[in-house]
A = this chain, B = another copy of it.
Amino acid sequence: MEIPSLHDPQQLAAFYRDALLQDVVPFWLRHGLDHEQGGILTSLDRAGAVIDTDKSIWFQGRAAWMFATLYNHVEPRATWLSAAQSCLDFLERHAVGDDGKLYFSVTREGRPLRMRRYVYSESFAAIAAAALFRATGSERARASALRYWQNYLRYSFDPALAAPKTDPQTRPMRGIGPLMIAMVTAQELRLNLGEVVALGRTPTEWIAWCVDEIERYFMKPERQVLLETVGIQGEVLDHFDGRLLNPGHAIECAWFLLLESSIVHSPRMEQLGLQILDWMLARGWDHEFGGLYYFRDLDDKPIQEYWHDMKFWWPHCEAIIATLLAWRLTGSERYATLHQQVHDWSFRHFPDPEQGEWFGYLHRDGTVSTTLKGNLWKGPFHLPRMLLWSWKLLDTEPTSLLALSSLPPRRPD
C-alpha cells in the first residue's frame, strides 16, 4: 500500500477522508448497528460478525457522539443522524442505574450487567447528547447533556462521592484520567452548547482548572514526563502505579491542550502541550520495532502489567492527531517528521487489508495478537475521530469542527 505523506497534504487529507467515509464508518454502520434492539454492538470479529451481544454503555455514548459529529461537521446524512439517535436512545432507556449512575455494560436487550466505580459512561453520554442537540435542536438532548456532565463532575471530583480503589487514608492519590476526560468533555459541550455553567464553572473555566491541576500535579519538567498517578501533593509515588507511564494517554492529553491553546489563545498552554508531546513520544517510541509501547516505567524498571510492550491502535491514533496539530500550530518541520513516523508505522501495521477497519492489538513486533475488530473498549471512536480530525486539520476548506479555534484552514499548496 502506498502511504501518502505531508509532502502532499492534499493527498493526505483525501487519504484520511476516504479511510473514514469509505472504510471505517461503513464497517460500523453495516456490522454494529442493532436494528432489532437499537444501539450498537461493538464485539465484532475480523469480518464484522457479532461474537458477543453484550453492549458497552461507553460505546452507546461514543458512537452516538461520533455519528452525530459526522452529521454536524461532514454532511447531514440521515443514516448518521438515526444511528446517533438510536445509540443515545438505547442508553437513555437502559443504562441508568438506581442511583442515577450509568451502567458499564448491559445485555443486548438492555438488562443491567455491570456497574463500575468510575463515571466515564457519563462523560461519553454528555458529549453524545450535546452533539445531538447541535444536530437536532432537541431541548431534551440539551438537558441530558448537562445532567450527565454534572454527574460526571460530581462523581469525579467530589471526594464524598468519588470511590477510590486504594485506601485514601493510607495513600491518598490523584489520577490524571478524570481531568483529561473533563477537558475533552468540556471542549465538546462548549462547541455544541456554548458556555453552559455546571457546578459553578463554564466549560472554559473547567478546562482552565483541569490544565492547572495537570500542570501542578502531573507534569514533572525535571524528569521530562507526564505522570498518570501521583500523591495528593503531586509527589512521585515510588510504586508500580506511581512510576507507570502511559505515553499514548499523555499524548492524547497533549492534543487536548494544543487544541485548547488555539481556542483561548494561550501560548502557555501550547507550550505545555508541545512539551508533553515531545517528552512522551520520546519515552514511548520503540526504537527496535517501531510503534508506541503501551506502558513505560518512569525509571525504566520492570512494569507490573505483563502486556506493557504491546502496540494498541488508540495511542497511535492520538499520536497522529497530536503531531499533526503540533505541526499546524508551529509549522515546525520536526512535527511533520514525527507525524510521518507515527502515521507510517500505524498504517503499515493496524489496517486489515482484507476486511477493512483496523486491528486493535498487536504484539510488540507489530504482528497481530487478536483479529477482533471491536469489544467493550474498541468501537467507532478513536480511529474515526483521528481520521476526521486529521482530514479536517489538512483541509483547505473552513470546518465547523474548528469553529472556536484560531487555527485557520490549511493554506492551499
Chain A residues near B (Cβ < 8 Å): 43, 45-46, 51-54, 106-107, 111-114, 165-167, 169-171, 238-240, 301-304, 306-310, 312, 360-361, 363-364, 369-372, 375-376
Bound complex: CA A353 to CA B42 (Å): 45
Query: Chain B nearest CB: distance from A3 CB in Å?
Result: 25
Bound complex: CA A369 to CA B361 (Å): 16
Chain B residues with CB under 8 A of A364: 363
Are the C-beta atoms of A170 and B54 separated by less than 8 Å? no
Bound complex: CA A378 to CA B211 (Å): 39
Take A51-B301, A239-B54, A301-B51 as given contacts and tell me if A369 and B306 are in contact as well, using a CB distance cutoff of 8 Å. Answer: yes
Query: Chain B nearest CB: distance from A14 CB in Å?
Result: 32
Query: Chain B nearest CB: distance from A352 CB in Å?
Result: 12
Are the C-beta atoms of B52 and A240 separated by less than 8 Å? yes
| Tally of this chain's copies | 2
Are the C-beta atoms of B170 and A107 separated by less than 8 Å? yes
Can you offer 26 A-B residue contacts whose CB atoms are under 8 A? A43-B240, A45-B302, A51-B301, A52-B239, A52-B240, A107-B170, A107-B171, A111-B169, A112-B167, A113-B166, A114-B167, A240-B375, A302-B370, A302-B371, A302-B372, A303-B370, A304-B372, A306-B307, A306-B312, A306-B360, A306-B370, A307-B310, A308-B369, A308-B370, A309-B369, A363-B364
Contact for A301 among B45, B166, B303, CB less than 8 A: B45
Are the C-beta atoms of A170 and B51 separated by less than 8 Å? no
Chain B residues with CB under 8 A of A167: 111-114
Closest 9 interchain pairs by CB?
Answer: A306-B361, A307-B307, A302-B372, A111-B170, A112-B167, A302-B370, A52-B239, A52-B240, A51-B301
Bound complex: CA A227 to CA B294 (Å): 31
Contact for A114 among B113, B166, B310, B360, CB less than 8 A: B166
Bound complex: CA A307 to CA B304 (Å): 14
Query: Chain B nearest CB: distance from A166 CB in Å?
Result: 5
Query: Chain B nearest CB: distance from A376 CB in Å?
Result: 8
Bound complex: CA A14 to CA B364 (Å): 38
Query: Chain B nearest CB: distance from A239 CB in Å?
Result: 5
Query: Chain B nearest CB: distance from A315 CB in Å?
Result: 13
- Residue in chain B with minimal CB distance to A167: B112
Bound complex: CA A312 to CA B107 (Å): 32
Query: Chain B nearest CB: distance from A290 CB in Å?
Result: 17
Interface contacts beyond A53-B239, A306-B360: sample of 7 additional A-B pairs, CB < 8 Å, sorted by A: A46-B302, A52-B240, A111-B169, A113-B171, A304-B375, A306-B310, A308-B369
Query: Chain B nearest CB: distance from A148 CB in Å?
Result: 22
Chain B residues with CB under 8 A of A114: 165-167
Chain B residues with CB under 8 A of A113: 166-167, 170-171
Chain B residues with CB under 8 A of A360: 306
Query: Chain B nearest CB: distance from A27 CB in Å?
Result: 16
Interface centre among A45, A51, A239 (most CB of B within 10 A): A51
Chain B residues with CB under 8 A of A301: 45, 51
Interface centre among A53, A169, A364, A370 (most CB of B within 10 A): A370
Bound complex: CA A370 to CA B364 (Å): 12
